[in-house]
Structure 1
Amino acid sequence: MYNKKFEENLKVLGLNPSGELTLQTIKKTHRAKAKEFHPDKNPGKDTTAYKCRKRILRCQSRILFI
């Protein structure tokens, strides 16, 4: 149904491609993932958390603006 890159971005955010994809669900899961990988929440894993957070932001922007 979707192209591979779009499905990969959904998986990074933890969304199911066959599930309901609304703006609210995308924003809600993005906020949850962003909080989970925020560098202030993971002081010992700063570089990993920062990279994950950056990837999550990139995926959300790709999903919303395709």
Structure 2
Amino acid sequence: MRHITDLSTAHWRKSSYSNTNGGSCVEIADNFPGLVPVRDSKNPHGPALVIPAEAWAAFVGGLKAQG
């Protein structure tokens, strides 16, 4: 079963690691309990990934562990 989340009410914020030089920029939305929508800030009208919050936390934790 495929579930589509309506992201029209998303409150997007750019990653603190993004730069102003047009580098790889990621935005996430915090206002979906249990989910983390992720998109490319250079393509705000393009597709977004919707990831379970637990999986996102594990992903970010793994990145931080790599230093």
Sort the TM-score into its range (normalised by shorter chain): 0.3 to 0.5
Q: What's the TM-score once normalised by structure 2's chain length? A: 0.33
- What's the TM-score once normalised by structure 1's chain length? 0.33
Considering fraction of residues, name the structure with more strand: 2
Q: Which has the higher contact order (CA 8 A, sep 6+)?
A: 1
